[in-house]
């Protein structure tokens, strides 16, 4: 018996198809895949590999990264708030001198970025 993959991909894809007014058959034709492959991916009966995800992205004219993230092939995008929370968490246990080193490093990166912007 095959296990069901629960990655939210089916719900995500269903919403996209609904917005476009497409059926699974429409997607299958546009992606040059079988309707069964699309149905199985949407129902979670099978995982979504890079090849199928790429075909779906091209058919829907979506960035491949977006489809890969929805399919669980890439980690979720980290929001600015989540990133700041991770930085703060990482800094909490550091000694004061190490915290100052991290701040110096951030300032160095910002100066480099500014120089690159000015060169353009």
pLDDT score, position 7: 53
Domain count across the chain:
2
pLDDT score, position 56: 98
Contact 104, 96 (CB under 8 A): no
- Express each pLDDT in 5-53 by its tens digit: 445 899 999 999 999 999 999 999 999 999 999 999 999 888 899 999 9
Kindly tell me the burial class for residue 100, based on how many C-beta atoms sit within 10 Å of its own C-beta (0-12, 13-18, 19 or more). exposed
Tell me, yes or no, whether 60 and 96 share the same domain: no
Tell me, yes or no, whether 45 and 97 share the same domain: no
Asked whether residue 35 is domain-assigned, the answer is yes
Asked whether residue 22 is domain-assigned, the answer is yes
Asked whether residue 3 is domain-assigned, the answer is no
Domain of 84, in residue numbers: 80-119
- Express each pLDDT in 67-94 by its tens digit: 999 999 998 888 889 889 989 999 999 9
- Express each pLDDT in 88-107 by its tens digit: 999 999 999 999 999 999 99
């Amino acid at each position: 018996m095959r296990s069901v993959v629960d990655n939210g991909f089916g719900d995500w894809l269903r919403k996209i198809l609904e917005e476009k007014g497409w059926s699974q058959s429409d997607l299958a034709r546009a992606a040059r895949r079988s309707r069964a492959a699309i149905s199985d991916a949407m129902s979670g009966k099978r995982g979504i590999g890079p090849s199928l995800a790429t075909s779906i992205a091209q058919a829907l004219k979506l960035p491949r990264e977006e489809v890969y993230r929805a399919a669980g092939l890439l980690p979720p995008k980290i929001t600015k708030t989540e990133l700041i929370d991770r930085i703060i968490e990482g800094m909490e246990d550091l000694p004061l001198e190490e915290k100052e080193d991290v701040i110096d490093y951030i300032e160095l990166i910002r100066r480099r970025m500014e120089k690159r912007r000015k060169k353009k």
